[in-house]
Structure 1
Amino acid sequence: MITPRTEAAPAPADIPARRRPWAAAFRGLVALSAATGLVIECVYGDVLVVLSFFTVWSNILAAAVLGLGAVRAWTRRPPLPALWTGGTLLCVSVVGLVFHLVLDNEASEFNAAAEIARLDGGRAVANQLLHTVTPIGAALDFLLLTAPGALRWRHAAQWLAAPALYFAFALVRGALLSPGAPTRYTYPFLDVTAHGYGGVLANAVALGAAFYALGLAIIGLDRIRPAPRPSEYRISSERARGLK
């Protein structure tokens, strides 16, 4: 007797990834926002000075990662590795938090509120795009448009490579520039003239610890947030009735 052959239901991995137009559109807008802020900064300022700020480094990374993420969501390709998307979120989150809690906070020892208040026109727009819009956009993308559970605890330590590289760059740049050069040290807490190398190192360690703690918090949140159930992974009632 020949047993009728039945076809097994396709595994989720065999089902083509669906286009995600809302994710593509949102990521594209956030990437465009970051790119717009970067262009404005370069138009109004010295490009070499502009490119010396961690804010700009982080927004370049955000524009590239979210822009590529938008393309992949539209073309039904797998998302970028979580190491990159999570690291981007961490970098721009640090940018936003340091700006609003330290630099633009009159109660902070390192506040630059007076200088920030003097920004007008395009510079003021760019300032908000880079320090507020991009961090919030990256956070919303993480919370609403990415699948949870991809981040690993080791990523928090790996992400420290970005601030460590910038710290080395900032100190070398400051040492090479003449004492009277404008923006010799890009941030008040990295000013060796004001704090000495010991004080700057202490500031960097404190910020690095905060960077690491925030990374762990992001990973912890990634592990407890609910996982959406993609509709294309479900077996419809019509297909279920056809299985033997």
Structure 2
Amino acid sequence: MSVVFRALIAVSALAGIILLLDYTHGDGGVFVYFTVQSSVIIAVVSASATIWTVPAWVRGAATLYSCITGTVYHALLANPSSPFHVVDSGAHAPHNLLLHTVTPILAAVTWLFVDREPVRWWFAAVWLCYPLAYLAFALARGAIVHEYPYPFVDAGELGYGGVTISALGFTVAFFLLGLLLIGLGAGVRRLLRQQQRTRVEDPAGV
């Protein structure tokens, strides 16, 4: 079952990237976005996990990045009431649905209900290395080309002080999201173990 779900994640992420490239007529600039980078990560990790043993903390990291993509998009970028709302002409295109909705949901469901492997809580902090590295990349690139991939890292509009405030908020939010994935995963494992013990002790359900 886990192989099937991992394959579905990889196919969804890869299809989303391919459709996005088709939508943008092969514009390689799309790889600047966290959405695309995180989709590459989850696709590679999930595809690899169908063949080899990939450590749970690595799969957890890829899951978090995919969930960050979905959460930030729906809560901020696609939300008209958000100060970071962005009008996207391709909002209802297939690539958008796959990258921002289908893949994150598949990743979360697989992590919580299919794989169910324990991960230490402090990995939620380790997993922040990539988002922080992405922030540094976006700011360094922006300083050179004067263009930023997302409004909340736009130092030209917000200033570096504003970006710092945003970054601190996102860092805390992403850490809590990582803890949530780890905690919910542990809770699901405990619940399933209790149900299994109940079935063994009382197979007739009496």
TM-score by length of 2: 0.87
1:200 aligns with 2:163: yes
Shift of 1:26: 2.2
CA distance in 2, matches of 1:223, 1:36: 31
Structure 2: gaps (5+ residues): 194-206
Q: How does 1:51-200 map to 2 (within 5 A)?
A: 51-72=31-52, 79-112=53-86, 115-116=87-88, 118-119=89-90, 124-148=93-117, 150-177=118-145, 179=146, 184-200=147-163
User: C-alpha offsets along residues 199-236 of structure 1, whole Å, 9 cap, x if unaligned?
Assistant: 0111011001100111111122222223557xxxxxxx
1: CA distance between counterparts of 2:79 and 2:101? 15
Aligned residue type for 2:82: S
* Matched residue count: 191
Match of 2:198 in 1: none
Taking the aligned partners of 1:214 and 1:132, their CA distance within structure 2 comes to: 17
Q: Which residue of 2 aligns with 1:36?
A: 15
Which amino acid letter does the alignment assign opposite residue 108 of structure 1? S
* Distance in structure 1 (CA, Å) of the matches to 2:90 and 2:61: 29
Counterpart CA distance in 1 for 2:57 and 2:111 is 13
Q: Which amino acid aligns with 1:32?
A: V
**Contact 2:113–2:188 (8 Å) recurs in 1:** no
Amino acid at match of 1:142: W
| Whole-angstrom distance in 2 between the partners of 1:147 and 1:190 | 34
CA distance in 2 between partners of 1:47 and 1:70 (Å): 30
State whether residues 116 and 186 of structure 2, in contact with CA within 8 Å, keep that contact through their aligned partners in structure 1: no
**Alignment partners' CA distance in 1, 2:90 and 2:186:** 40
Deviant stretches of 4+, over 4 Å? none
Question: In 2, Cα distance between the equivalents of 1:88 and 1:50?
Answer: 19
Q: Which residue of 1 aligns with 2:196?
A: none
* 1:4-19 equivalence runs, <5 A: none
- Name the structure with the higher helix share: 2
Tell me if the contact between 2:70 and 2:104 (Cα under 8 Å) persists in the aligned partners: yes
Amino acid in the other structure paired with 1:29: L
Displacement after TM superposition at 1:85 (Å): 0.7
Provide structure 1 residue ranges, at least 5 long, that are not aligned to the other structure: 1-21, 73-78, 230-244
Q: Hey, what's the Cα distance between the residues in 1 that align with 2:27 and 2:184?
A: 37
